[in-house]
Structure 1
Amino acid sequence: MKTRYIPEAPQRAEIDATQGALLLEFGANWCGHCMAAQAPLEQAFHGHDQVAHYKVEDGPGRPLGRSFRVKLWPTLIFLRDGQEVARLVRPLKADDISAAFAQIDA
């Protein structure tokens, strides 16, 4: 599991072409809602080490977040073979995150 949002985001075409399970997490390192979501995310991530994880710093003019229509942080987008399977906005319960992982994890 990644621990810091990074400003360098992959291109949308790269995400769409990704094979297997992928978690895109949009937010900001200073965001209180993002910080609150980290403990349940860490708990739910346990046992899903094979899931690729991009922790993308989002904000105005950031094309990847806009292409996924991200409005609030954190937004977790769970993908399987480049297709969105589940989305959670401001999750606070590990069980909700685990249920989303179950939809993409093989």
Structure 2
Amino acid sequence: MSEFIKEILENDFDRETSQGAVLVDFFADWCGPCRQLTPILEEVAKEVKEVNFFKINIDAAQEVAARLEITSIPTLVLFYKGKEVDRVVGLIEADDLKTFLAKAK
């Protein structure tokens, strides 16, 4: 991934989302819109230091995807201290993503 976004595995999901503000990008390698979203996430992750950014591949993390009822990708789920705050499905522009991340309080 990058220094700003870390890819996590299914068995790390609960631990990684339990502390502070976390944005998780649910994606798949075969998903075109997911690939389009990556540079937007990179740009925002460089600026927004108070949120941890993670990606999780739904093909490798089917249990987590099912538990969170991820039915379309890309899906961005915002967590604060392990609890889901909000989610957005589909592509999102950088400015809208920054506004969305402000909900993590």
Structure 1 runs not aligned, ≥5 long: none
Structure with the higher fraction of residues in strand conformation: 2
1:2 is displaced (CA, Å) by 2.1
State which of 2, 5, 8 in structure 1 corresponds to 2:5.
Answer: 2
Amino acid at match of 1:36: Q
| Pair 1:69–1:60, CA change in 2 (3 A) | farther
Unmatched segments (≥5 aa) in structure 2: none
Distance 1:67 1:46, change over 3 A: same
Of all paired residues, the percent bearing the same amino acid is 26
Indicate how the Cα distance of structure 1 residues 61 and 44 shifts in structure 2: closer, same or farther if over 3 A, else same. closer
Instruction: Spell out structure 1 runs of 4+ moving beyond 4 A.
Output: none
Cα distance change of structure 1 residues 97 and 60 upon mapping to structure 2, 3 Å threshold: same
Quote the offset at 1:14 in angstroms. 3.0
Task: Quote how far apart the aligned CAs of 1:36 are.
Answer: 1.1
Cα distance, 1:86 vs. partner? 1.8
After TM superposition, the structure 1 = structure 2 runs for residues 34-53 of structure 1, keeping only pairs within 5 Å, are 34-53=34-53
| Matched residues, number | 102
Displacement of 1:72: 1.0
Q: What is the aligned partner in structure 1 of residue 27 from structure 2?
A: 27
Alignment of 1:54 with 2:54, yes or no, is yes
Local SS of the residue matching 2:55: strand
The residue identity in structure 2 corresponding to 1:30 is W
The question of whether the paired residues in 2 share the 8 Å contact of 1:88 and 1:97 is answered with no
1:45-104: CA deviation from partner (whole Å, max 9, x where unpaired): 232234222210103871111111101111110111111112111123112211111111
- Aligned residues: CA RMSD: 2.4
Residue of structure 2 equivalent to 1:63: 63
TM-score by length of 2: 0.78
